A and B are shown apart, each in its own frame.
Chain A
Amino acid sequence: MCGAELMVTTTAEAIAAEAPGAETADAPKGITVVKLSFRAGGASGFHASLKDALAGQAWVASSLAELTDEPVASDGRRATSGGGISTILSTAHESERARDETLQSAFADLDALTAKAKEIVGMAEHLATQLHGGKHAPEHAFRQYLLDLGIDSPVTRDTAGAVFHSELARELCDYLEHYVAQCGGSVALVDAYCLYNRAREFSPVFPSDFAQACRKFADLDLPLRLREYPSGLLVLEDAASADDALVLARVDSYIASFGPLTASDLAAIEDCPLALAEERLWLAERHARVCRDEAVEGVRFYENRFRPVQ
């Protein structure tokens, strides 16, 4: 401050006023004492500054500033002091790392989910084979539920390649045969598609692939058949009961025992979708087995009395 050598002289104002006792008591114990002499004045200004520093506890404040130094830097508020490009780079790096972490944890979750699904399917199959011996209806039903849960290693385009549709057709037959039989020998293609895709879980098939595979049933001599009704309704049928004659015979017998039928009557009797019941009645109509009565209440089908009596 003064630039000159400091002489060991006590400034009466500063030291004597602060600790007159300390000078005499502390000095002999070897505590460093600094004596400042102000020859060309300025002592009062220094004293004021010192008092401020003591009052504000400047040493505590500066150490606090040092502690909060790092977060401030990552915030980029100190970019000016840290320096241009390197700070930008490190910031970019930082956010990339955060993103990686998020993705990794997300995929770890998905893997876990897949692994669990496979486990569950495996468990279901295991239980199913264990129950195989049992012929009791509830056990049988339970076994079917388990089978319905899923398909292990389903056929995909990647695994089957060129024969994808044929392979898919085989798998479809294996999977759906039981269901079709349960539904009285025929189900709407849409229902079958939903059921099958639910079982495939993570690798659903496209509707077009599904329909294409179904069209191969006859060529591959599989036990199911795809039938397209004139209205465009697609139906999967049991090859054994796909015969028109059987449908016609059933409709005939229903009319004989229940009287004239509406499509919803037939849907209730056969427990099939309304659209399918309509198609069956229309089929019978095309074969001149029934005739219709159109009234305000709807269309009702009667036995065909117009057939010329031979």
Chain B
Amino acid sequence: MASTTAAAGEPFQFPEMYNFPPFFTRQPNESTWKEQRRQWCDLVLAFYRHNRLYSMSLAEAVTEPPFANRQLRRALRVDVLREVVDELVKQGNAVWAGAKGTKDICLVFWRKPEVWATMIHQWASERGLFNTVLTVFELANGDDTAGQEFHGLDAATLRRALDVLQSQGKAQLFAGASDEDLGVKLFA
């Protein structure tokens, strides 16, 4: 993941739940499970936001924090994590990526694409860049965007944000020779 870690150095503050062994067992009681799942969703988003992570491979994720706790020697099972991600998808905070119908990789939106879209539009408006063709690569990694929240955004998530803008009629995408060459023109 080619992302800058904005809060590098500052370790992630795990919630108290992280040291509670039953947190890593899927609770059979439905109401308990709902609450447990909610707390997992919160933890995933907070952890991914803190470390500016965007995508998750479930099988790998369960071997390390926040899904595994080495002190307790507990780890969430993949099928339980899948249920958690399903919930995130339902809330619009994640989408399943990878081959259709499989649930092995997902994008985690700790900020929804709509929010990213608004930020990018705002930035273009401030810089007077409407009606100018920009490459998607420079949008994420260019010097112009340094210091912006969306600087360093991963390609898949950025693409979704631009899709949102296009559907709102505020952007037009130009396909290039490859994904890297994708161009975009923003409108007011």
Spell out A's residues near B (CB within 8 Å).
Answer: 260, 285-286, 288, 291-295, 300, 302, 304-308
**CB closest residue in chain A, given B31:** A288
At the interface, yes or no: B144 with Cβ under 8 Å from chain A?
A: no
B20 close to A305 (CB less than 8 A): yes
Chain B interface, >50% SS class: helix
Smallest CB separation, A190 vs chain B (Å) = 26
CA distance A165 to B172 in the complex (A): 83
B32 contact set on A, CB distance < 8 A: 285, 288, 291, 304, 306-307
Stretch at the interface among B21-29, B108-116, B120-128: B21-29
Render B62-81 as a binary contact track against A, CB cut-off 8 A, 1 for contact: 00000000000110000000
Mind listing 25 A-B residue pairs with CB under 8 Å? A285-B27, A285-B28, A288-B29, A291-B22, A291-B27, A291-B36, A292-B22, A292-B25, A292-B27, A293-B22, A293-B25, A294-B25, A295-B21, A295-B73, A295-B74, A302-B20, A302-B22, A305-B20, A305-B22, A306-B22, A306-B32, A306-B35, A306-B39, A307-B32, A308-B35
Question: Cα distance A286–B29 when bound, in Å?
Answer: 6
Interface pair A292/B39, CB less than 8 Å apart: no
Interface of A is mostly: mixed
Residues of chain A lying within 8 A (CB to CB) of residue B146: none
| Chain B min CB distance to A197 (Å) | 37
Chain A's nearest CB lies how many Å from the CB of B41? 13
Q: Tell me the bound Cα distance from A291 to B31 in angstroms.
A: 11
B25 nearest in chain A by CB position? A294
Contact, CB under 8 Å: A306 / B36: yes
**Given contacts A291-B22, A293-B21, are A306 and B27 in contact (CB under 8 A)?**
yes
| 10 interchain residue pairs of minimum CB distance | A293-B21, A306-B35, A291-B22, A293-B22, A294-B25, A306-B36, A306-B32, A302-B22, A288-B32, A291-B27
Do the beta carbons of A305 and B29 come within 8 Å of each other? no
**Is B24 in contact with A293, judged by CB distance below 8 angstroms?**
yes
- Rounded to whole angstroms, the CA-CA distance of A304 and B31 in the bound complex is 11
Does residue B188 face the partner (Cβ distance < 8 Å to A)?
no
Judged by a CB distance under 8 angstroms, whether B133 is at the interface is no
Interface residues of B (CB under 8 A from A): 17, 20-22, 24-25, 27-29, 31-32, 35-36, 39, 73-74
Complex: how many Å from CA A295 to CA B29?
18
In angstroms, Cα B36 to Cα A286, docked, is 15
CA distance A240 to B89 in the complex (A): 49
Query: In the complex, which residue of chain A has the Cβ closest to the Cβ of B74?
Result: A295
Task: Name the distance in Å between B24's Cβ and chain A's nearest Cβ.
Answer: 7
Give the interface centre of A302, A304, A306 by most chain B CB atoms within 10 Å: A306
Residue numbers in B under 8 Å from A300 (CB-CB): 21
- State A307–B17 Cα separation when bound (angstroms): 12
Shortest CB-to-CB span from B17 to chain A, Å, is 7
Q: How far is the CA of A291 from the CA of B20 in the complex (A)?
A: 11
Bound CA–CA A280/B74 (angstroms): 25
Task: Decide if B28 touches A292 in the complex (CB within 8 Å).
Answer: yes
CB distance from B28 to the nearest CB of A (A): 7
